[in-house]
Chains A and B, each alone.
Chain A
Amino acid sequence: MLDETKTGLDTVEGGPQLSGKSTDSSGGKMDDPDGHPSVIALLSQFGDAVSGHRVFAGTQHVVWIDSACNLEILRWLREQQDHQYDMISDITAVDYGAGRPIEVVYQLFSTVYKRALRVRCKLPLDGLEIDSIVELWSAANWLEREVYDLFGVTFRKHPDLRRILMPHDYEEGHPLRKDFPLRGRFSRAEQTRRALDQSVEHSYIAEEMDLGRDPQQATPIIGTKDGDE
């Protein structure tokens, strides 16, 4: 049992490894997809669109896919009877700095097969656009808003693409980008002035303000599936 859990931990034991001048976090590498049927099926079904596959920390399979067909591949992963990734655990992004592409990360989980898969899409800095997957998982709505807020990635056809964490009128940029200065772009005096100028209510849309009222009369929030249909 102990030996089973320790397989594939070589990269962990070696500690964090510097990839030198590599401009590609996957390195174009293909690890052995054995043991994860979804990766095998992905490689046979979308072989051209899958640009890399690595196994991290023993069991975490990661595939890099073409950002142009993220919607198609994720829909296939969600709806295929053999995979059924019905839960989107997380959507986030990574900025590797030095002008390298920003990677959008989808963390999927199948409650049917108890199986996890991480899907990553590279986006060049001059084309930070990708299709929204809110139509597949409603939970992606706020997660994509967070990525938009903090990294500046635009999600096409997102029903409600607004800032979610930073103030609605924040003008200093996208804070988790590597080129963003730690203390912001404005002076502290300017930041304080702008903070006190903001109207608290403006961070919310009318439907969100309704949440505090009678649930019988509140209108559904736009962007959810129930609200659209």
Chain B
Amino acid sequence: MEEGGARMGLKDALPGGGTSSVTGGMFGDGSPTFLTSKIDWIINWSRRNSLWPMPFGTACCAIEMMASAASNYDLARFGMERMSFSPRQADVLICAGRVPYKLAPVLRRIWDQMPQPKWCVSMGACASSGGVFDVYSMVQGIDTIIPVDVYVPGCPPRPEGLIYGLMMIQEKIREESLSRHFEHRAEDPSSVARPHANDAQVIGLTGPFGNSTQQEELSNKEPGTRGELPEELLP
């Protein structure tokens, strides 16, 4: 191989070579730790370079997501060659846009239908926190519904932002190890279709920022106790 060839880079990047004289290997002192580390590396390498996104686009963020997939930004360079419109064949759920409460069970069902291993990107302000839609109909962050790995800020984020978020998922996969499989893949079947966050977490996540509406903090006030508006402000 010539200097700088593909094989050369691969050899340099392979982790876990050498001996395990310090920690003690699987086959005794001095034996290589080659076997497990190489399986980790191969599996993580193949997973992170063939991430198929499941686009869950509900608003303007979806336009930026489409731009990311189109030729100018070309998500396919990073292995997201195929937008999978079926959750059964998808690895990454990209939730792009606002999610109303009526759509929450749909999002949850799509997440439950995706096979492990799976990751989730919350794209944009509305999916991450409800954004400006701090109202009766809107989910205040999809992390109350499903677990989220990466939040991409922006309103909407630029395609570079989404690509950076997906590359952070790739970094996360790079650090995973089969020995911690159950930690990474923990999923309780009884939690299917249940909120991801418990009540206290939902309250903590959904408190309003600022107060432009004269409502008390968590809007569970009894009906009819709202202060009257000044008469001159009425139409």
Footprint of B on A, CB under 8 Å?
A: 18-21, 25, 96-98, 165-167, 172-173, 175, 179-200, 203
Contacts and interface: CB of A to CB of B under 8 A. Distances in A.
Contacts of A203: 102
B195 A192 contact: yes
Interface in B182-235: 193-195, 197, 199, 202-203, 205-206, 208, 213, 215, 218-221, 223-224, 226, 229, 231-232, 234-235
B126 interface: no
B136 interface: yes
A180 B213 CA distance: 12
A115 B218 CA distance: 48
A182 B219 contact: yes
A191 B195 CA distance: 11
A195 B203 contact: no
Interface range, B side: 35 or more
A contacts with B: majority SS: loop
Contacts of B194: 196
B173 to A, nearest CB: 28
Nearest to B222: A185
Given A195-B102, A200-B105, A19 B235 contact: yes
B219 A187 contact: yes
A140 B101 CA distance: 26
A196 B195 contact: yes
Contacts of B213: 182-183
B109 A188 contact: no
Q: 5 smallest A-B Cβ distances: which pairs?
A: A183-B219, A184-B136, A195-B101, A188-B206, A187-B220
